Amino acid sequence: MATPRIIVVGGGLAGLSAVIKIAEAGGTVDLFSIVPVKRSHSVCAQGGINAAKNLKGEGDTTYKHFDDTIYGGDFLANQTPVKAMCEAAPAIIDLLDRMGVPFNRTPEGLLDFRRFGGTLYNRTAFAGATTGQQLLYALDEQVRRYESEGKVTKYEGWEFLSAVLDSKGVARGITALDLRTMELRSFAADAIILATGGIGAIFGKSTNSVVCTGSAQSAVFQQGVTYANGEFIQVHPTCIPGEDKLRLMSESARGEGGRVWVPRNPSDKRAGKQIPEAERFYFLEEWYPKYGNLVPRDIATRAIHKVVYENHLGIDGQPMVYLDLTHIDRATLDRKLGGILDIYEKFVGDDPHDVPMKIFPGVHYTMGGLWVDFNQMTNIPGLFAIGECEYQYHGANRLGANSLLSCIYAGFISGPNALSYSKNAAAQDGDGGHAAEVTRQAAINAKLLKNEGAENPFKLWRELGDTMTKHATVIRYNKGLKQADEKIVELLDRYKNVSLADRSQWANTSFAFARQLKNMLELARVIAQGATLRDESRGAHYKPDFPERNDERFLKTTKASFTDSGPRFEYEEVDTQFIKPRPRRYDAAN
């Protein structure tokens, strides 16, 4: 039979991993990305990638990695795929090493490892504090090699609009928009892999890159793909608040010994450095003596919220706390954390070698995403999903340095799975639905271009971000979540009056943004309503009115499907066959 032709959408770590496996196995790949793939959001990952290589004589094992991941995720992740991922991790690190990733080294020339949150082991391999950048480049280089051999065709500067489905509901290709010429067309494929990343833009400001809107996920959700665990949003404890985004300050800062504290006296006017030890409140170390500053992110984020909003502490009346590295010598910091210290200095103007950093939590990652089976296929045959855009590996809270691993692991298994699916797939009938889907998309584009009204899409987006950040992040109340959903419905209504200041057909960025915005609004409802329905607290999802985990009712995957009157929800049992759910207590002695 002919060589299978696979479309991969998204050129971050997950997408590139899939591309490499397909090209290596003899398949042909069309790779779509909004930005040149080397500029994908994976470059922003900082601290490292987990693998139980046990090179520090600690007796670490892949099973302990598995247990930490499941426990850290508050038992919501299906255990079979997580176990397989943790078992594959050491070989993945070896491969990345062979690809030339400049990982930090021990004196013997072996890989160095550091600690990260939610574990007591040095399990995180790292390249300075720019690990995501270094990993992405290594994969980008391998893909460039295949591109030069003609096995991969890149469509950079194209935005995915929708899947093409045939009369039996099988995926037969995609439609995409050339962001320069504004040309709309469809592309045929035997299988499609979505690797379209995060959804931070739904919250306005986040640590995510500009392209992380969740638009692609939402588009296929509206075409019938189930969306799972949407309510689980990770808020990273340590970010630099900013006007345009919240810049991540890596967990590796704490992995290398960074300490989080606030002045005990809320009206202390002194600079951080001038405040003596006894007048500092190291609240994470005090509340969580065993894990200290390296509790999982949901725990650290809630602790900072508590200190700031309940204990009314902060930095000179501002809602911020210190992340302090000044006790660590300069050379060590430069060697192990270089990249992130530069970011702080460039954007804030203070040198974190000398001055404690001022940080606050920010939206960072979605644990939820497109529902997939253990082969990474969604409920639409032929449509796969990998990386942050799917839900499978992190349960209710992701451990630091597990995201790079889950992206690469899922990419690596999805490639061969998509190939074997393609080889066994039935032939399409007719044109596979291409003409009809192009017509549908062309109609949406034409309507948007000539639409008249008083609404500016960028302003509507700011309102969406404000309401989602207020009601659907760290602390959630059903009343607030309902207000958020009502607000989204209002914004969807006002969206009908969106008018574009730019109606041209050349590199029209506001047109592309307006299309993304519609999809963001639809997906935001899944988050708000999913959170409303889950009357318990688990991982990143915390409701003061329901402060305990409720396994009886909610040890279940949330599954949302699209209807014209809003998302519809059902629940699915979680695979807990290896590790019996136990209480998650990072404050306990053991």
Question: Catalytic residue numbers?
Answer: 297
DSSP class of residue 103 equals -
The minimum distance between CB 373 and another protein, in angstroms, equals 23
Maximum alpha-carbon separation in the chain: 76
Instruction: Report if residue 452 touches another protein, rule: CB under 8 A.
Output: no
Task: Say how far apart CA 200 and CA 204 lie, in whole Å.
Answer: 7
Instruction: Report if residue 535 touches another protein, rule: CB under 8 A.
Output: no
Task: Say how far apart CA 277 and CA 343 lie, in whole Å.
Answer: 27
Asked if 64 and 52 count as a contact pair (C-beta separation under 8 A), the reply is yes
Question: Judged by CB under 8 A, which of 20, 29, 333, 468 binds another protein?
Answer: 20
Percent helix, strand, coil in the chain (nearest 5)?
A: 40, 20, 40
Residue span binding another protein (CB under 8 A) among the ranges 106-114, 228-236, 306-314, 566-574: 106-114
Task: Say how far apart CA 380 and CA 483 lie, in whole Å.
Answer: 33
The minimum distance between CB 99 and another protein, in angstroms, equals 5
* Segment holding 441, helix H or strand E: helix 434-450
Question: Judged by CB under 8 A, which of 309, 374, 458, 578 binds another protein?
Answer: 458
Instruction: Report if residue 141 touches another protein, rule: CB under 8 A.
Output: yes
Closest CA to 248 of 323, 117, 340, 163: 340
Residue span binding another protein (CB under 8 A) among the ranges 242-250, 306-314, 388-396, 524-532: 242-250
End-to-end CA distance of the chain: 58
Instruction: Report if residue 427 touches another protein, rule: CB under 8 A.
Output: no
For residue 7, the cross-strand partners are 30, 192
Instruction: Report if residue 288 touches another protein, rule: CB under 8 A.
Output: no
Residue 295, number of CB atoms within 10 A of its CB: 24
Task: Say how far apart CA 587 and CA 286 lie, in whole Å.
Answer: 9
**Which x/- pattern over 378-417 shows residues binding another protein (rule: CB under 8 A)?**
----------------------------------x-----
Closest CA to 127 of 157, 106, 103: 103
Question: Judged by CB under 8 A, which of 2, 427, 454, 501 binds another protein?
Answer: 501
Instruction: Report if residue 108 touches another protein, rule: CB under 8 A.
Output: yes
Asked if 60 and 66 count as a contact pair (C-beta separation under 8 A), the reply is no
The minimum distance between CB 175 and another protein, in angstroms, equals 22
Instruction: Report if residue 147 touches another protein, rule: CB under 8 A.
Output: yes
Instruction: Report if residue 245 touches another protein, rule: CB under 8 A.
Output: yes
Question: Judged by CB under 8 A, which of 57, 243, 544, 589 binds another protein?
Answer: 243
Question: Judged by CB under 8 A, which of 5, 41, 65, 364 binds another protein?
Answer: 41
Instruction: Report if residue 454 touches another protein, rule: CB under 8 A.
Output: no
Instruction: Report if residue 329 touches another protein, rule: CB under 8 A.
Output: no
Instruction: Report if residue 44 touches another protein, rule: CB under 8 A.
Output: yes
Task: Say how far apart CA 81 and CA 123 lie, in whole Å.
Answer: 19
Task: Say how far apart CA 119 and CA 369 lie, in whole Å.
Answer: 25
Question: Judged by CB under 8 A, which of 8, 9, 14, 21 binds another protein?
Answer: 21
The minimum distance between CB 262 and another protein, in angstroms, equals 21
The minimum distance between CB 141 and another protein, in angstroms, equals 4
The minimum distance between CB 559 and another protein, in angstroms, equals 31
Q: Which two tokens stand for residue 533?
A: 């329905």
